[in-house]
């Protein structure tokens, strides 16, 4: 099957020309309910894809789900290295992730964060390999084989589209710590971040 290298409806590069959007935060309803399938692969979808790539780049992320910009359709964008540090860039609509089972299943506990809870990280065990199948923004079938960080990214973003944030996979104690870590740095992230850049200082302490 084709890889997920983005192709434009008009022949233009869907990675460029977008504008950053506000990233939704944990607790907002759109992040905690399942998405609906993408059925129209049109110019409106391409425009949002461009904006999501711009948003992800501005926020220094490796993946971004539609719900993280307030859209309830099932798709995500990514720009992420695999275990061999090969960079993969793409769009996946209506994704389905296949994870190893049985003897081939190998869990790796690694630090994970979320642009919708910026500044906070926790260790979460996930399979070190994932295969994601879906369609690109033009409706063409794609398949991505992910290892390393890319495998984690594919699972994290697909979780978002099911209404699951990674904190839902943590124990209550770890989730509380994660929320506390976010609260400690929340002053750096304006409500419309990353449209407004994060602060490099605490305004209260500099007053």
For residue range 31-86, list pLDDT tens digits in order: 999 999 999 999 999 999 999 999 999 999 999 999 999 999 999 999 999 999 99
157 is catalytic: yes
Predicted TM-score (pTM) of this structure: 0.92
Among 157, 153, 133, smallest CA distance to 4 is for: 133
Q: At residue 9, does pLDDT exceed 70?
A: no
Domain ranges of the chain: 29-193
- CA 97 to the chain's CA centroid: 14
Cβ neighbour number for residue 10 with a 10 Å cutoff = 7
Asked whether the bond before 51 is cis by omega within 30 degrees of 0, the reply is no
Residues 129-166: pLDDT tens digits? 999 999 999 999 999 999 999 999 999 999 999 999 99
Among 101, 142, 108, 141, smallest CA distance to 123 is for: 108
Q: At residue 1, does pLDDT exceed 60?
A: no
Among 131, 135, 165, smallest CA distance to 38 is for: 135
Residue 198: what pLDDT?
95
Structure tokens at 6: 């983005």
Tell me the residue length of the chain.
207
What homologous superfamily is domain 29-193 in, according to CATH? Peptide deformylase (3.90.45.10)
Tell me how many helices (H) and strands (E) the chain has.
Answer: 4, 7
- CA 181 to the chain's CA centroid: 20
Q: Are the CB atoms for 48 and 69 separated by under 8 Å?
A: yes
Residue 77: what pLDDT?
98
Catalytic residue among 28, 47, 98, 157: 157
Q: Are the CB atoms for 55 and 23 separated by under 8 Å?
A: yes
One-character DSSP codes across 63-112: EEEGGGGT--BSEEEEEEE-TT--EEEEEEEEEEEE---GGG--EEEEEE
């Amino acid at each position: 099957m084709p890889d997920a290298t983005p192709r434009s409806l008009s022949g233009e590069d869907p990675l460029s020309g977008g504008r950053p959007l506000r990233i939704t935060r944990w607790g907002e309803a759109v992040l905690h309910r399942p998405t609906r399938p993408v059925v129209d692969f049109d110019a409106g979808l391409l425009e949002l894809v461009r904006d999501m790539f711009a948003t992800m780049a501005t926020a220094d992320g490796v993946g971004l789900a539609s719900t993280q910009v307030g859209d309830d359709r099932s798709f995500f964008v990514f720009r992420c290295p695999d275990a061999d540090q090969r960079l993969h860039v793409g769009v996946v609509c209506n994704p389905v992730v296949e994870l190893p089972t049985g003897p081939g299943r190998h869990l790796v506990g690694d630090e994970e964060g979320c642009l919708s809870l910026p500044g906070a990280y926790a260790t979460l065990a996930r399979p070190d390999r994932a295969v994601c199948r879906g369609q690109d923004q033009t409706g063409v079938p794609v398949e991505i084989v992910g290892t390393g960080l890319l495998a984690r990214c594919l699972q994290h973003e697909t979780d978002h589209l099911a209404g699951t944030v990674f904190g839902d996979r943590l124990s209550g104690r770890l989730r509380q710590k994660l929320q506390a870590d976010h609260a400690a740095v929340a002053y750096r992230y304006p409500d419309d971040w990353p449209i407004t850049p994060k602060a490099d200082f605490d305004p209260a302490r500099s007053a």
